[in-house]
A and B are shown apart, each in its own frame.
Chain A
Amino acid sequence: MQSPKYYEFLGRPKMISGKRALEQIPLELEGYGAGRPLILAQSKAGSGGPAGTIIRALYDSNLVIGALYDGAIAGSTSGIVSELAGLYMARKCDSIIAIGGGALVDVAKCVNIEVTVKKPPLQLAGEGRITRELKPMVLVPVALVSGNEAANRTFIDGMAVISDFLSPDIVAIDHRMTKIAESDAMLFAGMIALAHAVEASISATANPMIDAYAYASIRLLCGHLPAAVKKPSNKKSSVAVANAASFAATAFSNAPAGMTHYLAEALADGTGINPGISMGLLVRSLLKARMADKKGVREELCLALAGPELFSSRQESARTQAAVDALEGIFNELGGLMPGSLKELGVAQDRLKETVRAAVKASPSKLPEKECMDILSRAWEGK
Protein backbone atom coordinates (compact mmCIF):
# COMPACT_ATOMS: atom_id res chain seq x y z
CA MET A 1 0.00 0.00 0.00
CA GLN A 2 1.17 3.50 -0.70
CA SER A 3 -0.07 6.90 0.46
CA PRO A 4 -1.51 9.20 -2.17
CA LYS A 5 0.38 12.35 -3.14
CA TYR A 6 -2.17 14.37 -1.27
CA TYR A 7 -5.32 13.80 0.74
CA GLU A 8 -7.51 15.26 3.43
CA PHE A 9 -9.51 13.28 5.94
CA LEU A 10 -11.71 13.98 8.93
CA GLY A 11 -13.41 11.44 11.18
CA ARG A 12 -15.38 13.79 13.32
CA PRO A 13 -17.78 11.85 15.54
CA LYS A 14 -16.65 10.48 18.84
CA MET A 15 -17.78 6.86 18.93
CA ILE A 16 -19.25 5.44 22.12
CA SER A 17 -20.54 1.93 21.69
CA GLY A 18 -21.77 -0.88 23.86
CA LYS A 19 -22.90 -1.54 27.40
CA ARG A 20 -24.42 1.54 29.04
CA ALA A 21 -23.45 3.84 26.17
CA LEU A 22 -26.59 5.94 26.65
CA GLU A 23 -25.68 6.69 30.26
CA GLN A 24 -22.49 8.39 29.05
CA ILE A 25 -24.39 11.13 27.23
CA PRO A 26 -24.89 13.58 30.15
CA LEU A 27 -21.20 13.77 31.02
CA GLU A 28 -20.23 14.03 27.35
CA LEU A 29 -22.57 16.99 26.94
CA GLU A 30 -21.22 18.46 30.17
CA GLY A 31 -17.81 18.47 28.47
CA TYR A 32 -19.30 20.88 25.96
CA GLY A 33 -20.83 22.98 28.70
CA ALA A 34 -24.29 21.73 27.67
CA GLY A 35 -27.07 20.16 29.74
CA ARG A 36 -30.48 20.96 28.22
CA PRO A 37 -30.91 18.89 25.10
CA LEU A 38 -33.81 18.80 22.70
CA ILE A 39 -34.43 15.11 22.08
CA LEU A 40 -35.94 13.84 18.86
CA ALA A 41 -36.86 10.19 19.18
CA GLN A 42 -38.21 7.78 16.64
CA SER A 43 -41.79 6.99 17.53
CA LYS A 44 -42.75 3.46 18.36
CA ALA A 45 -46.12 2.19 19.35
CA GLY A 46 -46.47 0.23 22.56
CA SER A 47 -43.91 -0.21 25.29
CA GLY A 48 -40.16 -0.44 24.83
CA GLY A 49 -40.03 2.69 22.69
CA PRO A 50 -36.93 4.89 22.63
CA ALA A 51 -38.53 7.74 24.61
CA GLY A 52 -38.88 5.81 27.86
CA THR A 53 -35.48 4.20 27.48
CA ILE A 54 -33.64 7.45 27.01
CA ILE A 55 -35.37 9.17 29.92
CA ARG A 56 -34.39 6.32 32.24
CA ALA A 57 -30.84 6.36 30.91
CA LEU A 58 -30.51 10.02 31.83
CA TYR A 59 -31.50 9.47 35.45
CA ASP A 60 -29.10 10.63 38.15
CA SER A 61 -27.45 13.26 35.99
CA ASN A 62 -27.34 17.05 36.01
CA LEU A 63 -29.08 17.10 32.69
CA VAL A 64 -32.61 18.37 32.11
CA ILE A 65 -34.46 17.41 28.95
CA GLY A 66 -35.64 20.69 27.42
CA ALA A 67 -38.20 18.81 25.36
CA LEU A 68 -38.66 15.34 23.99
CA TYR A 69 -40.36 15.09 20.62
CA ASP A 70 -41.45 11.64 19.52
CA GLY A 71 -44.16 12.61 17.10
CA ALA A 72 -44.19 11.49 13.50
CA ILE A 73 -41.56 12.82 11.11
CA ALA A 74 -42.46 11.93 7.55
CA GLY A 75 -39.66 13.79 5.82
CA SER A 76 -37.18 16.59 6.30
CA THR A 77 -39.09 19.70 5.31
CA SER A 78 -38.68 23.37 6.17
CA GLY A 79 -42.04 23.21 7.93
CA ILE A 80 -41.19 20.63 10.59
CA VAL A 81 -37.66 21.99 10.97
CA SER A 82 -38.78 25.48 11.81
CA GLU A 83 -41.43 24.19 14.22
CA LEU A 84 -38.88 22.11 16.09
CA ALA A 85 -36.37 24.96 16.01
CA GLY A 86 -39.08 27.01 17.68
CA LEU A 87 -39.51 24.34 20.35
CA TYR A 88 -35.73 24.32 20.87
CA MET A 89 -35.65 28.10 21.34
CA ALA A 90 -38.75 28.23 23.52
CA ARG A 91 -37.22 25.73 25.93
CA LYS A 92 -33.77 27.36 25.84
CA CYS A 93 -32.11 24.12 24.80
CA ASP A 94 -28.37 24.00 24.24
CA SER A 95 -27.83 20.69 22.43
CA ILE A 96 -29.61 18.02 20.39
CA ILE A 97 -29.98 14.27 20.78
CA ALA A 98 -31.37 12.42 17.75
CA ILE A 99 -32.53 8.85 18.31
CA GLY A 100 -33.32 6.92 15.17
CA GLY A 101 -32.26 7.14 11.55
CA GLY A 102 -33.20 8.56 8.17
CA ALA A 103 -35.32 11.72 7.96
CA LEU A 104 -35.44 12.20 11.72
CA VAL A 105 -31.68 12.77 11.80
CA ASP A 106 -31.84 15.08 8.78
CA VAL A 107 -34.41 17.13 10.68
CA ALA A 108 -32.25 17.19 13.82
CA LYS A 109 -29.27 18.51 11.86
CA CYS A 110 -31.39 21.12 10.11
CA VAL A 111 -32.82 22.28 13.44
CA ASN A 112 -29.24 22.62 14.62
CA ILE A 113 -28.38 24.78 11.61
CA GLU A 114 -31.41 26.96 12.13
CA VAL A 115 -30.83 27.56 15.85
CA THR A 116 -27.08 28.16 15.49
CA VAL A 117 -26.71 30.06 12.23
CA LYS A 118 -30.17 31.66 12.61
CA LYS A 119 -30.98 31.13 8.96
CA PRO A 120 -33.34 28.66 7.32
CA PRO A 121 -31.13 25.69 6.37
CA LEU A 122 -32.42 25.74 2.81
CA GLN A 123 -30.45 28.95 2.30
CA LEU A 124 -27.28 27.06 3.11
CA ALA A 125 -27.85 24.20 0.66
CA GLY A 126 -24.69 23.17 -1.15
CA GLU A 127 -21.23 22.32 0.04
CA GLY A 128 -19.12 24.09 2.66
CA ARG A 129 -21.46 26.97 3.36
CA ILE A 130 -21.60 26.43 7.11
CA THR A 131 -18.41 27.88 8.52
CA ARG A 132 -18.73 27.43 12.27
CA GLU A 133 -19.34 24.85 14.95
CA LEU A 134 -22.98 24.07 15.52
CA LYS A 135 -24.54 23.13 18.87
CA PRO A 136 -23.36 19.78 20.26
CA MET A 137 -25.25 16.95 18.64
CA VAL A 138 -25.53 13.33 19.72
CA LEU A 139 -26.70 10.64 17.32
CA VAL A 140 -28.19 7.51 18.87
CA PRO A 141 -28.66 5.03 16.03
CA VAL A 142 -31.63 2.71 15.66
CA ALA A 143 -31.04 1.75 12.02
CA LEU A 144 -29.02 4.19 9.95
CA VAL A 145 -31.14 3.72 6.86
CA SER A 146 -30.05 6.71 4.80
CA GLY A 147 -26.31 6.36 5.29
CA ASN A 148 -26.11 10.12 5.87
CA GLU A 149 -26.88 10.14 9.58
CA ALA A 150 -23.31 9.86 10.82
CA ALA A 151 -21.94 11.62 7.74
CA ASN A 152 -21.26 15.28 6.98
CA ARG A 153 -24.59 16.05 5.35
CA THR A 154 -28.29 16.55 5.74
CA PHE A 155 -31.25 17.09 3.46
CA ILE A 156 -33.94 19.73 3.52
CA ASP A 157 -36.82 19.83 1.05
CA GLY A 158 -34.82 17.45 -1.15
CA MET A 159 -31.69 19.64 -1.21
CA ALA A 160 -28.37 18.55 0.30
CA VAL A 161 -26.44 20.63 2.82
CA ILE A 162 -22.84 19.41 3.19
CA SER A 163 -20.34 20.57 5.80
CA ASP A 164 -17.80 19.04 8.19
CA PHE A 165 -19.80 20.58 11.02
CA LEU A 166 -22.83 18.44 10.16
CA SER A 167 -21.24 15.19 11.29
CA PRO A 168 -22.56 14.45 14.77
CA ASP A 169 -20.21 15.23 17.64
CA ILE A 170 -21.02 11.97 19.34
CA VAL A 171 -22.43 8.69 18.07
CA ALA A 172 -23.70 6.65 21.01
CA ILE A 173 -24.55 3.08 20.02
CA ASP A 174 -26.52 1.06 22.55
CA HIS A 175 -28.30 -2.22 21.96
CA ARG A 176 -31.37 -0.94 23.79
CA MET A 177 -31.91 1.26 20.72
CA THR A 178 -30.44 -0.82 17.88
CA LYS A 179 -32.48 -3.87 18.79
CA ILE A 180 -35.79 -2.13 18.11
CA ALA A 181 -34.93 -1.76 14.41
CA GLU A 182 -37.12 -3.64 11.95
CA SER A 183 -35.49 -6.37 9.95
CA ASP A 184 -35.81 -4.56 6.61
CA ALA A 185 -34.44 -1.31 8.06
CA MET A 186 -31.44 -3.30 9.26
CA LEU A 187 -30.96 -4.65 5.75
CA PHE A 188 -31.21 -1.19 4.15
CA ALA A 189 -28.72 0.23 6.64
CA GLY A 190 -26.27 -2.63 6.16
CA MET A 191 -26.40 -2.56 2.38
CA ILE A 192 -25.98 1.19 2.16
CA ALA A 193 -23.05 0.98 4.55
CA LEU A 194 -21.47 -1.76 2.48
CA ALA A 195 -21.88 0.25 -0.70
CA HIS A 196 -20.56 3.46 0.84
CA ALA A 197 -17.52 1.73 2.28
CA VAL A 198 -16.73 -0.06 -0.99
CA GLU A 199 -17.21 3.04 -3.07
CA ALA A 200 -15.06 5.23 -0.83
CA SER A 201 -12.35 2.65 -0.97
CA ILE A 202 -12.26 2.54 -4.79
CA SER A 203 -12.78 6.28 -5.26
CA ALA A 204 -10.14 8.64 -6.59
CA THR A 205 -9.67 10.11 -3.11
CA ALA A 206 -8.97 6.76 -1.43
CA ASN A 207 -6.31 7.10 1.26
CA PRO A 208 -5.00 5.11 4.23
CA MET A 209 -7.58 6.57 6.60
CA ILE A 210 -10.51 5.80 4.34
CA ASP A 211 -9.01 2.34 3.98
CA ALA A 212 -8.93 1.88 7.74
CA TYR A 213 -12.54 3.01 8.25
CA ALA A 214 -13.75 0.97 5.27
CA TYR A 215 -11.87 -2.05 6.55
CA ALA A 216 -13.50 -1.86 9.98
CA SER A 217 -16.91 -1.32 8.43
CA ILE A 218 -16.72 -4.11 5.87
CA ARG A 219 -15.24 -6.65 8.29
CA LEU A 220 -18.06 -6.00 10.76
CA LEU A 221 -20.69 -6.29 8.04
CA CYS A 222 -19.24 -9.57 6.78
CA GLY A 223 -19.38 -10.93 10.28
CA HIS A 224 -22.71 -9.60 11.50
CA LEU A 225 -25.07 -8.28 8.84
CA PRO A 226 -26.91 -11.52 8.02
CA ALA A 227 -27.44 -12.33 11.68
CA ALA A 228 -28.68 -8.81 12.41
CA VAL A 229 -31.17 -8.86 9.55
CA LYS A 230 -32.46 -12.28 10.54
CA LYS A 231 -32.85 -11.21 14.15
CA PRO A 232 -32.45 -7.50 14.90
CA SER A 233 -33.01 -8.19 18.60
CA ASN A 234 -29.60 -9.90 18.63
CA LYS A 235 -27.65 -7.39 20.72
CA LYS A 236 -24.17 -7.94 19.40
CA SER A 237 -25.10 -8.07 15.71
CA SER A 238 -27.34 -5.04 15.74
CA VAL A 239 -24.69 -3.03 17.56
CA ALA A 240 -22.08 -4.24 15.06
CA VAL A 241 -24.18 -3.11 12.10
CA ALA A 242 -24.71 0.33 13.65
CA ASN A 243 -20.95 0.57 14.15
CA ALA A 244 -20.29 -0.48 10.57
CA ALA A 245 -22.83 2.06 9.30
CA SER A 246 -21.17 4.85 11.29
CA PHE A 247 -17.69 3.99 10.01
CA ALA A 248 -18.97 3.78 6.43
CA ALA A 249 -20.57 7.20 6.85
CA THR A 250 -17.21 8.65 7.80
CA ALA A 251 -15.54 7.03 4.79
CA PHE A 252 -18.37 8.37 2.65
CA SER A 253 -17.92 11.88 4.13
CA ASN A 254 -14.37 11.89 2.82
CA ALA A 255 -14.97 10.62 -0.70
CA PRO A 256 -17.19 11.79 -3.53
CA ALA A 257 -20.38 9.78 -3.91
CA GLY A 258 -19.85 7.28 -6.71
CA MET A 259 -21.64 5.50 -9.47
CA THR A 260 -23.75 3.11 -7.43
CA HIS A 261 -24.87 5.95 -5.20
CA TYR A 262 -26.26 8.07 -8.03
CA LEU A 263 -27.71 5.10 -9.88
CA ALA A 264 -29.51 3.95 -6.75
CA GLU A 265 -30.87 7.42 -6.07
CA ALA A 266 -32.08 7.79 -9.64
CA LEU A 267 -33.71 4.38 -9.42
CA ALA A 268 -35.35 5.27 -6.12
CA ASP A 269 -36.78 8.46 -7.61
CA GLY A 270 -38.20 6.57 -10.58
CA THR A 271 -39.40 3.39 -8.90
CA GLY A 272 -39.46 3.91 -5.15
CA ILE A 273 -37.10 1.00 -4.56
CA ASN A 274 -35.06 1.50 -1.41
CA PRO A 275 -31.64 2.88 -2.39
CA GLY A 276 -29.96 0.58 0.10
CA ILE A 277 -31.22 -2.51 -1.67
CA SER A 278 -30.29 -1.33 -5.13
CA MET A 279 -26.91 -0.04 -3.93
CA GLY A 280 -26.20 -3.48 -2.51
CA LEU A 281 -27.05 -5.12 -5.82
CA LEU A 282 -25.13 -2.50 -7.78
CA VAL A 283 -22.00 -2.71 -5.72
CA ARG A 284 -21.89 -6.46 -6.15
CA SER A 285 -22.21 -6.04 -9.92
CA LEU A 286 -19.58 -3.33 -9.90
CA LEU A 287 -17.04 -5.55 -8.23
CA LYS A 288 -17.80 -8.44 -10.55
CA ALA A 289 -17.46 -6.19 -13.58
CA ARG A 290 -14.14 -4.83 -12.35
CA MET A 291 -12.92 -8.33 -11.75
CA ALA A 292 -13.84 -9.47 -15.27
CA ASP A 293 -12.36 -6.31 -16.70
CA LYS A 294 -8.81 -7.04 -15.50
CA LYS A 295 -8.75 -3.48 -14.18
CA GLY A 296 -8.95 -5.37 -10.97
CA VAL A 297 -9.94 -4.16 -7.56
CA ARG A 298 -7.62 -2.37 -5.14
CA GLU A 299 -5.70 -4.69 -2.88
CA GLU A 300 -7.02 -2.79 0.15
CA LEU A 301 -10.62 -3.50 -0.72
CA CYS A 302 -9.90 -7.16 -1.43
CA LEU A 303 -8.32 -7.41 1.99
CA ALA A 304 -11.32 -5.77 3.65
CA LEU A 305 -13.80 -8.08 1.96
CA ALA A 306 -11.86 -11.31 2.17
CA GLY A 307 -10.23 -10.72 5.56
CA PRO A 308 -6.55 -11.42 6.29
CA GLU A 309 -6.87 -15.22 6.45
CA LEU A 310 -8.59 -15.77 3.13
CA PHE A 311 -6.69 -12.92 1.46
CA SER A 312 -3.28 -14.25 2.32
CA SER A 313 -4.14 -17.85 1.54
CA ARG A 314 -4.66 -16.96 -2.13
CA GLN A 315 -2.20 -16.15 -4.87
CA GLU A 316 -2.05 -12.46 -5.69
CA SER A 317 -3.99 -12.98 -8.92
CA ALA A 318 -6.80 -14.81 -7.14
CA ARG A 319 -7.44 -12.24 -4.43
CA THR A 320 -10.10 -10.30 -6.29
CA GLN A 321 -11.99 -13.54 -6.72
CA ALA A 322 -11.68 -14.17 -3.00
CA ALA A 323 -13.14 -10.74 -2.31
CA VAL A 324 -16.07 -11.28 -4.63
CA ASP A 325 -16.67 -14.69 -3.07
CA ALA A 326 -16.75 -13.12 0.37
CA LEU A 327 -19.27 -10.53 -0.77
CA GLU A 328 -21.35 -13.25 -2.41
CA GLY A 329 -21.17 -15.03 0.93
CA ILE A 330 -23.10 -12.23 2.63
CA PHE A 331 -25.81 -12.37 -0.02
CA ASN A 332 -26.05 -16.14 0.25
CA GLU A 333 -26.33 -16.03 3.99
CA LEU A 334 -29.12 -13.50 3.69
CA GLY A 335 -30.91 -15.87 1.33
CA GLY A 336 -34.45 -14.83 0.58
CA LEU A 337 -34.20 -11.71 2.74
CA MET A 338 -32.18 -9.94 0.06
CA PRO A 339 -33.57 -9.80 -3.48
CA GLY A 340 -31.22 -11.20 -6.10
CA SER A 341 -31.73 -8.71 -8.89
CA LEU A 342 -33.48 -5.51 -9.90
CA LYS A 343 -35.60 -7.56 -12.26
CA GLU A 344 -36.92 -9.51 -9.32
CA LEU A 345 -37.95 -6.20 -7.79
CA GLY A 346 -40.12 -5.46 -10.79
CA VAL A 347 -37.92 -2.89 -12.52
CA ALA A 348 -38.76 -2.78 -16.23
CA GLN A 349 -35.75 -3.22 -18.48
CA ASP A 350 -36.54 -0.08 -20.47
CA ARG A 351 -36.19 1.93 -17.25
CA LEU A 352 -32.46 1.37 -17.16
CA LYS A 353 -31.51 3.89 -19.83
CA GLU A 354 -33.32 6.80 -18.26
CA THR A 355 -31.97 5.81 -14.85
CA VAL A 356 -28.42 6.12 -16.18
CA ARG A 357 -29.28 9.45 -17.77
CA ALA A 358 -30.73 10.78 -14.52
CA ALA A 359 -27.74 9.53 -12.51
CA VAL A 360 -25.24 11.14 -14.87
CA LYS A 361 -27.20 14.37 -14.66
CA ALA A 362 -27.32 14.32 -10.87
CA SER A 363 -23.62 13.69 -10.33
CA PRO A 364 -21.42 16.77 -10.08
CA SER A 365 -18.44 14.86 -11.45
CA LYS A 366 -18.68 13.13 -14.79
CA LEU A 367 -19.81 9.53 -14.53
CA PRO A 368 -18.71 7.08 -17.23
CA GLU A 369 -22.03 6.47 -18.97
CA LYS A 370 -21.03 3.19 -20.54
CA GLU A 371 -19.84 1.64 -17.31
CA CYS A 372 -22.98 2.86 -15.55
CA MET A 373 -25.14 1.11 -18.12
CA ASP A 374 -23.06 -2.05 -17.90
CA ILE A 375 -23.31 -2.19 -14.13
CA LEU A 376 -26.96 -1.33 -13.98
CA SER A 377 -27.73 -4.05 -16.52
CA ARG A 378 -25.74 -6.56 -14.53
CA ALA A 379 -27.61 -5.59 -11.38
CA TRP A 380 -30.87 -5.90 -13.25
CA GLU A 381 -30.00 -9.44 -14.21
CA GLY A 382 -28.48 -10.15 -10.84
CA LYS A 383 -24.97 -10.86 -12.11
Chain B
Amino acid sequence: MNYDSYPEIKPGRKTIKRIYIAVMLFIVGRAIQAAGRMDKTVRKEFQNLKDDFVFALGVHPHGPWMVVGRDTKGRARYLGWNPEGKKIPLKMSIKNVESAILVFTFQESTSVAFARNRFVVDGDLIDALAVVRVLDLVEVYLLPKLIAALAVKRYPKWSELSPVRKHIGRVAIYTRALLGF
Protein backbone atom coordinates (compact mmCIF):
# COMPACT_ATOMS: atom_id res chain seq x y z
CA MET B 1 0.00 0.00 0.00
CA ASN B 2 1.34 3.38 -0.93
CA TYR B 3 0.58 5.56 2.07
CA ASP B 4 1.03 8.72 0.02
CA SER B 5 -2.20 7.98 -1.86
CA TYR B 6 -4.08 8.53 1.40
CA PRO B 7 -2.92 11.95 2.57
CA GLU B 8 -3.84 13.88 5.65
CA ILE B 9 -6.94 16.04 5.17
CA LYS B 10 -7.66 19.27 6.97
CA PRO B 11 -11.39 19.88 6.70
CA GLY B 12 -12.26 23.36 5.47
CA ARG B 13 -14.81 25.97 6.52
CA LYS B 14 -18.43 26.58 5.64
CA THR B 15 -18.07 30.30 5.11
CA ILE B 16 -21.55 31.19 3.90
CA LYS B 17 -23.30 29.36 6.71
CA ARG B 18 -21.01 31.00 9.23
CA ILE B 19 -21.75 34.44 7.86
CA TYR B 20 -25.48 33.73 8.10
CA ILE B 21 -25.12 32.66 11.73
CA ALA B 22 -22.96 35.68 12.51
CA VAL B 23 -25.63 38.02 11.12
CA MET B 24 -28.36 36.27 13.07
CA LEU B 25 -26.32 36.46 16.27
CA PHE B 26 -25.72 40.15 15.68
CA ILE B 27 -29.43 40.84 15.20
CA VAL B 28 -30.48 38.71 18.16
CA GLY B 29 -27.82 40.28 20.39
CA ARG B 30 -28.94 43.80 19.47
CA ALA B 31 -32.56 42.75 19.83
CA ILE B 32 -31.97 41.48 23.35
CA GLN B 33 -30.52 44.85 24.24
CA ALA B 34 -33.49 46.62 22.70
CA ALA B 35 -36.03 44.25 24.24
CA GLY B 36 -34.41 44.85 27.60
CA ARG B 37 -35.66 48.45 27.30
CA MET B 38 -39.03 47.79 25.68
CA ASP B 39 -40.30 44.60 27.27
CA LYS B 40 -41.16 44.29 30.95
CA THR B 41 -40.47 40.58 31.16
CA VAL B 42 -37.05 40.76 29.55
CA ARG B 43 -36.12 43.72 31.71
CA LYS B 44 -37.12 41.79 34.82
CA GLU B 45 -35.14 38.73 33.79
CA PHE B 46 -32.00 40.84 33.49
CA GLN B 47 -32.61 42.63 36.76
CA ASN B 48 -32.73 39.27 38.52
CA LEU B 49 -29.31 38.27 37.21
CA LYS B 50 -26.07 38.85 39.06
CA ASP B 51 -24.37 42.24 38.73
CA ASP B 52 -21.46 41.26 36.51
CA PHE B 53 -23.45 38.77 34.48
CA VAL B 54 -22.23 38.17 30.93
CA PHE B 55 -23.15 35.40 28.57
CA ALA B 56 -21.83 34.26 25.25
CA LEU B 57 -23.85 32.33 22.71
CA GLY B 58 -22.11 30.86 19.70
CA VAL B 59 -20.78 27.91 17.80
CA HIS B 60 -18.09 25.44 18.85
CA PRO B 61 -15.17 25.61 18.18
CA HIS B 62 -14.49 28.51 15.80
CA GLY B 63 -17.49 30.77 16.44
CA PRO B 64 -19.16 33.06 15.50
CA TRP B 65 -20.23 34.38 18.88
CA MET B 66 -22.34 37.06 20.44
CA VAL B 67 -21.74 38.44 23.90
CA VAL B 68 -24.47 40.03 25.99
CA GLY B 69 -24.11 41.35 29.50
CA ARG B 70 -25.95 43.16 32.24
CA ASP B 71 -24.80 46.64 33.11
CA THR B 72 -24.72 48.00 36.66
CA LYS B 73 -28.23 49.36 36.27
CA GLY B 74 -29.49 45.90 35.40
CA ARG B 75 -30.01 46.61 31.73
CA ALA B 76 -29.16 44.23 28.90
CA ARG B 77 -26.17 45.23 26.81
CA TYR B 78 -24.86 43.79 23.56
CA LEU B 79 -21.10 43.49 23.99
CA GLY B 80 -20.03 42.49 20.52
CA TRP B 81 -18.99 39.33 18.74
CA ASN B 82 -15.73 38.54 20.45
CA PRO B 83 -15.75 36.56 23.71
CA GLU B 84 -11.98 36.52 23.96
CA GLY B 85 -10.41 38.32 26.89
CA LYS B 86 -13.76 38.81 28.60
CA LYS B 87 -14.77 37.15 31.82
CA ILE B 88 -17.81 35.11 30.84
CA PRO B 89 -19.66 33.24 33.59
CA LEU B 90 -22.09 31.59 31.17
CA LYS B 91 -21.05 30.15 27.84
CA MET B 92 -23.64 28.44 25.70
CA SER B 93 -22.13 26.84 22.65
CA ILE B 94 -23.93 25.02 19.90
CA LYS B 95 -21.92 21.93 19.08
CA ASN B 96 -21.30 22.68 15.41
CA VAL B 97 -22.22 24.91 12.48
CA GLU B 98 -24.90 22.60 11.07
CA SER B 99 -26.70 22.35 14.40
CA ALA B 100 -26.52 26.13 14.68
CA ILE B 101 -28.13 26.41 11.24
CA LEU B 102 -30.99 24.20 12.44
CA VAL B 103 -31.48 26.54 15.38
CA PHE B 104 -31.14 29.83 13.50
CA THR B 105 -33.32 28.78 10.59
CA PHE B 106 -35.88 27.90 13.28
CA GLN B 107 -36.12 24.27 12.18
CA GLU B 108 -35.43 23.39 15.80
CA SER B 109 -36.80 25.38 18.71
CA THR B 110 -34.50 26.21 21.61
CA SER B 111 -36.04 23.51 23.77
CA VAL B 112 -35.91 20.88 21.04
CA ALA B 113 -32.28 21.80 20.42
CA PHE B 114 -31.63 21.38 24.14
CA ALA B 115 -33.44 18.05 24.17
CA ARG B 116 -31.33 16.96 21.22
CA ASN B 117 -28.22 17.83 23.12
CA ARG B 118 -27.16 20.46 20.58
CA PHE B 119 -25.97 22.86 23.28
CA VAL B 120 -23.06 22.69 25.67
CA VAL B 121 -23.73 24.86 28.71
CA ASP B 122 -20.73 25.98 30.67
CA GLY B 123 -21.89 27.89 33.73
CA ASP B 124 -24.89 28.15 36.00
CA LEU B 125 -27.96 26.36 34.68
CA ILE B 126 -30.35 28.76 36.44
CA ASP B 127 -28.85 31.62 34.43
CA ALA B 128 -28.99 29.54 31.27
CA LEU B 129 -32.72 29.04 31.76
CA ALA B 130 -33.21 32.78 32.14
CA VAL B 131 -31.34 33.28 28.86
CA VAL B 132 -33.53 30.69 27.15
CA ARG B 133 -36.65 32.56 28.32
CA VAL B 134 -35.24 35.82 26.97
CA LEU B 135 -34.33 34.24 23.64
CA ASP B 136 -37.84 32.81 23.29
CA LEU B 137 -39.37 36.24 23.88
CA VAL B 138 -37.01 37.96 21.48
CA GLU B 139 -37.90 35.42 18.81
CA VAL B 140 -41.57 36.23 19.30
CA TYR B 141 -40.76 39.88 18.65
CA LEU B 142 -38.44 39.34 15.72
CA LEU B 143 -40.28 36.69 13.77
CA PRO B 144 -43.63 36.50 12.06
CA LYS B 145 -46.03 34.42 14.12
CA LEU B 146 -45.97 31.50 11.69
CA ILE B 147 -42.27 30.94 12.26
CA ALA B 148 -42.06 31.99 15.89
CA ALA B 149 -44.82 29.56 16.80
CA LEU B 150 -42.48 26.79 15.66
CA ALA B 151 -39.55 28.22 17.56
CA VAL B 152 -41.20 28.47 20.97
CA LYS B 153 -43.29 25.94 22.90
CA ARG B 154 -46.18 28.28 23.52
CA TYR B 155 -46.78 31.36 21.46
CA PRO B 156 -48.02 34.09 23.81
CA LYS B 157 -51.75 34.73 23.66
CA TRP B 158 -52.94 38.14 22.53
CA SER B 159 -54.21 38.65 26.04
CA GLU B 160 -50.73 38.18 27.42
CA LEU B 161 -49.07 40.27 24.79
CA SER B 162 -51.47 42.91 23.57
CA PRO B 163 -51.30 43.53 19.81
CA VAL B 164 -50.44 47.14 20.39
CA ARG B 165 -47.63 46.23 22.70
CA LYS B 166 -46.39 43.57 20.37
CA HIS B 167 -46.45 45.52 17.15
CA ILE B 168 -45.12 48.71 18.57
CA GLY B 169 -42.64 46.68 20.52
CA ARG B 170 -41.66 44.79 17.42
CA VAL B 171 -41.07 47.90 15.33
CA ALA B 172 -39.13 49.54 18.12
CA ILE B 173 -37.00 46.51 18.76
CA TYR B 174 -36.25 46.14 15.06
CA THR B 175 -35.26 49.75 14.74
CA ARG B 176 -33.12 49.69 17.81
CA ALA B 177 -31.56 46.36 16.87
CA LEU B 178 -30.55 47.69 13.48
CA LEU B 179 -29.54 51.19 14.50
CA GLY B 180 -27.98 49.99 17.69
CA PHE B 181 -29.18 52.29 20.43
Contact = CB atoms under 8 A, between A and B. Distances in A.
A67 B11 contact: no
Given A20-B98, A67-B6, A87 B11 contact: no
B3 A58 contact: no
A84 B9 CA distance: 17
Interface residues of B, number: 23
Contacts of A19: 102
Contacts of A57: 98
A309 B134 CA distance: 43
Contact of B61 (A62, A64, A65, A90): A62
Interface in A23-48: 23-24, 26-27
A58 B8 contact: no
Contact of B12 (A59, A83, A87): A59
A24 B10 contact: no
A68 interface: yes
Contacts of B59: 60
A58 B11 contact: yes
A59 B17 CA distance: 11
Given A24-B96, A27-B60, A59 B6 contact: no
B11 A55 contact: yes
Interface string A60-72: 1111111111010
Nearest to B7: A67
Contacts of B10: 64-65
B95 interface: yes
A86 B3 CA distance: 9
A300 B27 CA distance: 54
Contacts of B120: 27
14 contacts: A23-B95, A24-B96, A24-B99, A27-B120, A56-B11, A57-B98, A58-B11, A59-B12, A59-B97, A60-B11, A60-B62, A65-B10, A67-B3, A83-B1
B6 A87 contact: yes
B6 A23 contact: no
B40 interface: no
B172 to A, nearest CB: 35
A69 B96 CA distance: 25
Interface string B52-81: 000000011110000000000000000000
Q: Please indicate which of the listed interface residues B14, B96, B99, B120 has the most CB atoms of chain A within 10 Å of its own CB.
A: B96
Interface residues of A, number: 28
B102 A55 contact: no
A60 B97 CA distance: 7
B18 interface: yes
Nearest to B101: A20
B87 interface: no
Interface string A68-86: 1101000000000001101
A91 interface: yes
A24 B72 CA distance: 39
A59 B95 contact: no
Contacts of A66: 8
B61 A61 contact: yes
Contacts of B13: 59-60
Interface string B14-45: 10001000000000000000000000000000
Nearest to B93: A27
Interface string A6-28: 00000000000001100110110
A26 B96 contact: yes
Contact of A64 (B8, B14, B98, B99): B8
Contacts of A63: 11
Contacts of A56: 11
Contacts of B7: 67
Nearest to A19: B102
Nearest to A18: B116
A107 B14 CA distance: 32
Contacts of A68: 6, 9
A90 B2 CA distance: 12
Interface in B78-115: 95-99, 102
